[in-house]
Structure 1
Amino acid sequence: MTHTTFGDVLLEIDGVGMSFTAADGERLQVLDHIDLNLHDGEIVALLGRSGSGKSTLLRAIAGLLAPTSGQVRYRGKPLNGANPGAALVFQSFALMPWLSVQDNVELGLAARGVAPRERRERALEAIDRIGLDGFESAYPKELSGGMRQRVGFARALVLEPDLLLMDEPFSALEVLTAENLRTELVKLWATKDFPTRCICVVTHNIEEAVQLADRVVVLGANPGHILAEVAVNLPRPRDRHTPSFAALVDHLYGLLTGRDAETSSTRPDLGTPVTTPLPDASVGGMAGLVDLVHHGGDRVDLPEIADDLNFELDDLLPLVDAAAMLGFLTAESGDVLLTEVGARWATADIQESKRLFAAQARHRAPLVRTICSALAGSSDRSARADFVLDLLRRSFSPQDAQRQLDIAIDWGRYGELYDYDTDSGRITADPAAGL
């Protein structure tokens, strides 16, 4: 079939909210009042940053998570369990290592009670369609990452689902392999006998969303909510070097990072370490970005910088978030602008640079502010790092909690606010910081 026009509604997401109970009993809202329809004949990208709940939303569509409020309906009927018309492709491949390629592809059919002969025929057809003919008896350990993901695609497509749901399916692959698989997926989608009617893909990669989708649903974070829906009216195959492609990337980037300039530059973020986690960015990385903006005339187009540096745009976004959190930069549409304090930081000597950074981090970075408050309230101006870590673990995974603490220690050390002793496990205020 062709996919130039969209048909009937296959799935309705009506006022869906999702919340979970944290370890301390507090309710954490992950999704808030999501309204969205998926149609026959379209590819939809769910584009969002960390904390936007895009993977949670995909699992609600798959029927793997029940919404706390609202309803998900497949072909007009409320979901009360796994979606019978959906199949999932995961980022991590999720293959059974003790099963051959063919056995992995047959798994879903076996679970549905399909007879062995029909299972075999359908599995071999799917394997051939996805370009793995000849590897039927191979085991996952014998395959490259790209080939393992092809098995994941075949395992989903063999079910002939109405909805093919993909959760960051290319992000675990190296760049050229990912690009090749994206191109092949678009070619398969254009074939008349493609066995699925709608694709919904979760991604944080703006260019990937524009390359694949007919419609991009942009999600905001904390809690996840729909910021905008953007139609991609570009013919396939799409050339990322055309002005129209670049314009859409710029527009989506602006939606993802757009902030009120006055608010960002003059008022500290009043969030908490949970609602406003520290972006995964080093001080040196931030300083490098601020320096680039300064030498670019205090205003630059970030997609152009990413292209010049041969980096993905998404690799630079944590640096933008961190510099914006600290008031050194603001984001406006597709551009990044230097603030007055950012200009001072870019031109300061090392000691003034540390002083400026400390002042901004102490007031604008929630976790740094929390640590400073704990140190100020202690008689010996010290605190156990495990105390901070335990608080973070109530809302973050153990790995994310540790990463948040590591970033806060890195920022605090640079600003000479506090130091951390790995032997004692204690964070101690710097005497000169006045805590």
Structure 2
Amino acid sequence: MTATSTATDRLIMTEQVCKSFPLPEGKGEFTVLQDINLSVKSGEVLALLGRSGSGKSTLLRIMAGLIPPSKGQVVSNGKRLNGSNKDVSMVFQSFALLPWLTVQENVEVGLEAQGVERKERRQRALKAIDLVGLDGFESAYPKELSGGMRQRVGFARAFVMEPKVLFMDEPFSALDVLTSENLRGEIDDLWNAGTFPSRSIVIVTHNIEEAVFLADRVIILGANPGRIRGELMIDLPRSHDRNSDRFKTLVDYIYTVMTNPDVEVTSGAVASPKVAPSVPRSPYAQVLPHARSGGISGLLELIVDQPEGTDDIPRLAERLQLEVDDLLPILDAAVMLGFAEVFQGDVHLTEIGRDFATTTILRSKDLFRQQVLEHVPMIVSMVKTLQEKQDGSMREDFFLDLLDEHFPREVAVRQFATAVDWGRYAELFEFDASEDRLYLPEPVAAGE
């Protein structure tokens, strides 16, 4: 392929795209995306896969022209993007249908806004409705439809615009398991049959199996800030067979790299050695996985019952019916606290993790406290602050202010809530929600 044809095949490109949002009270900026360079090629399904905080939905909206980048540029159809991207249509997680319009009227909305005359609007809408299997429901209103049928209307509304690229932002996550599986399969069938009404698809997802099933290429994003860690070619014949060994290898590999944020992503799907994570300069810049102590304990108890205290992460996620954004923070917390290790898609309990999962409640709290003090500098700093106060207490706002230096307010509040949960379970401090204050625990008198 020549350089010219390669450039022609790149429908959308991002060049050094960054996105930042201001922190509260003028305390600087929080960087959501950093130096994003990627291209969307003609004839491919591209998946953007990342955990919560990786900025994948923000990146999709920047490429759609819904929000501008702070730095860098987006090139679409060979031209720098200014404003909304007319080469794309988007299917959102929420159905976003107008309840007072029928199915056909909802599908025609975009065409009407473009000034397409009524007869052509009707023909194109009916064709799109038929394509998603909703013929017969043209005159129905959204309230008459199931969730899956409403999302089909969302697809038809995007299809009718005949975009060069279809953007899908977690389009199946609001649906039940069976409905999402059915709709996912139908979209894949349309693409494989060559009847899909766009030249490329970009899907944002946090579902690893979904990415491997639908995509030809997966871009894995890191978080805090969002950045491209690497890409993976899905070297499987279409349609992708979930039962093939290669499919399972790819899923296991992606689980491995997503649970080890410091390893290099390699195109051959071979896990690199673990790299020691860098330690932030401020203890309050440390990112705590948003997982409660009870969830960590419960997960370890499930794993310890498996042979040799080892479990396959994809199988564990399927057994628990948990999405990546729900399971991985609990795994991250177990790894951070030294209770577990992750490698090649498996989670393995350490010796102290086995002890924690099988001992008495009192000893488990002692072990939790020991691991928190060893591995979580933020909680260590919070305890030292309380110890330096004569009354052994400090208002919540003090710690939130320190966290605000590094995170948006919503994230700072979540970080504080996690630290409080871990610190209380470890009996390092107490929290009075009515006063919004942390306290050192009262010493237990002898004989009590």
Give the TM-score of the pair, scaled to structure 2: 0.86
Is 1:263 the counterpart of 2:276? The answer is yes
Shift of 1:308: 4.8
Q: 1:160 Cα deviation (Å)?
A: 0.4
Percent sequence identity is 51
The answer for the alignment partner of 1:358 in structure 2 is: 369
Q: CA 1:65–1:119 in 2, change beyond 3 Å: closer, same or farther?
A: same
2:286–2:378: 8 Å Cα contact kept in structure 1?
Answer: no
- Asked whether the equivalents of residues 46 and 219 of structure 1 are also in contact (C-alpha less than 8 Å), the reply is yes
Residues 276-328 of structure 1 show CA distances to partners (whole Å, capped at 9, x for unaligned) of: 1x323222221233234444324433223334555556542221011112222
> What residue identity is the alignment partner of 1:337?
H
Letter in 1 for 2:83: G
Does the 8 Å contact 2:252/2:345 carry over to 1?
yes
What CA distance in whole angstroms lies between the structure 2 residues aligned with 1:241 and 1:269? 42
In the other structure, the counterpart of 1:48 is 50
Tell me which amino acid in the other structure corresponds to 1:232.
Answer: I
Q: Which moved more, 1:283-292 or 1:368-377?
A: 368-377
C-alpha displacement at 1:115, in angstroms?
A: 1.8
Q: Does 1:88 align with 2:90?
A: yes
TM superposition shift of 1:180: 0.6
Structure 2 partner of 1:425: 436
Q: What one-letter code is carried by the residue in structure 2 that aligns with 1:91?
A: Q
> d(CA) in 2 for partners of 1:19 and 1:218?
20
Task: Specify whether residues 369 and 270 from structure 1 end up closer, same or farther in structure 2 by C-alpha distance, changes over 3 A only.
Answer: farther
Shift of the alpha carbon at 1:270?
Answer: 6.1
What stretches of structure 1 of length at least 5 have no aligned partner? Answer: 1-5
Matched, 1:288 2:298: yes
Q: Provide the C-alpha distance between the structure 2 equivalents of 1:294 and 1:261, rounded to a whole number of angstroms.
A: 23
Task: Write the deviation string for residues 186-240 of structure 1: whole angstroms up to 9, x where unpaired.
Answer: 1111334421000000001100001100001111111111112111122233332
Q: For residue 13 of structure 2, what is the amino acid of its counterpart? A: E
Provide Cα deviations, 1:390-410, integer angstroms capped at 9, x if missing partner.
666784464x55544443332
1:344: Cα distance to partner? 3.8
Deviation, 1:103, is: 2.1
CA apart distance, 1:370:
5.3
The equivalent of 2:117 in structure 1 is 115
Inter-partner Cα distance in structure 2 for 1:401 and 1:100? 43
Counterpart CA distance in 1 for 2:148 and 2:403 is 35
Query: What's 1:106 paired with?
Result: 108
Q: Counterparts of 1:300 and 1:194 in 2: how far apart (Å)?
A: 39
* Residue identity in the other structure for 1:251: Y
The alignment partner of 1:128 has SS state of: helix
Deviation at 1:123, TM superposition (A): 1.6
Task: Tell whether the 8 Å contact from 1:269 to 1:325 is kept in structure 2 after alignment.
Answer: no
Question: 1:371 Cα shift?
Answer: 3.9
Please state whether the residue corresponding to 1:20 is helix, strand or coil.
strand
Per the TM alignment, residue 377 of structure 1 is displaced from its structure 2 partner at its CA by 4.0
- The amino acid across from 1:407 in the alignment is T
* Residue 305 of structure 2 is aligned to residue 304 of structure 1: no
The answer to whether 1:35 aligns with 2:37 is: yes
Query: Given that residues 218 and 228 in structure 1 are in contact (C-alpha distance below 8 angstroms), is that contact kept between their aligned partners in structure 2?
Result: yes
Q: Distance in 2 between matches of 1:136 and 1:393?
A: 50
Decide which moves more: 173-182 or 120-129. 120-129
| 1:247 paired to 2:261 | no
Alignment deviations for residues 70-92 of structure 1 (CA, whole Å, 9 cap, x no partner): 22101211111111101111111
Contact 1:163 1:199 in 2 (8 A): yes
Is the contact between residue 362 and residue 372 of structure 1 (CA under 8 Å) also seen in structure 2? no
Mapped to 2, the partners of 1:158 and 1:60 lie a distance apart of 22
Counterpart CA distance in 2 for 1:421 and 1:404 is: 17
After the TM superposition, which residues 340-359 of structure 1 pair with which residues of structure 2 at under 5 Å, given as runs? Answer: 340-359=351-370
**1:164-175 correspondence runs (5 A):** 164-175=166-177
Rounded Cα–Cα distance in structure 1 between residues aligned with 2:282 and 2:347: 22
Q: How many residue pairs are counted as aligned between the two chains?
A: 424
Whether the aligned pair in 2 keeps the contact of 1:47 and 1:216 (CA below 8 Å) is yes
| Partners of 2:303 and 2:355 in 1: CA distance | 13
Which stretch has the larger CA shift, 248-257 or 379-388?
Answer: 379-388
Q: Mean alpha-carbon deviation: is it higher for 147-156 or for 355-364?
A: 355-364
**Which residue identity lines up with residue 8 of structure 1 in the other structure?**
D
TM-score (norm 1): 0.88
SS in 1 for 2:158: helix
Matched-pair contact (CA < 8 Å) for 1:222–1:275: no
Deviates more, 1:355-364 or 1:79-88: 355-364
| Structure 1 stretch displaced more, 54-63 or 304-313 | 304-313
Q: 1:403 to 1:145 in 2, by over 3 A?
A: farther
Letter in 2 for 1:242: S
Distance (whole Å) between structure 2 residues aligned to residue 362 and residue 425 of structure 1: 23
- State the alpha-carbon separation in 2 of the partners of residues 21 and 359 from structure 1: 37
CA distance 1:336–1:349, change in 2 (3 Å): same
The yes-or-no answer on 1:178 pairing with 2:180 is yes
The Cα shift of 1:361 comes to: 2.5
Distance apart, 1:262 and its partner CA:
7.2
What are the residue-to-residue correspondences of 1:301-380 with 2, within 5 Å? 301-309=312-320, 311=322, 315-365=326-376, 368-369=379-380, 371-380=382-391
**Alpha carbons of structure 1 residues 185 and 366: separation in structure 2 relative to 1, 3 Å:** farther
* Contact map agreement 1:268 1:364 (CA 8 A) in 2: no
CA contact (8 A) 1:270 1:366 kept: no
| 1:279 aligned residue (270, 289, 313) | 289
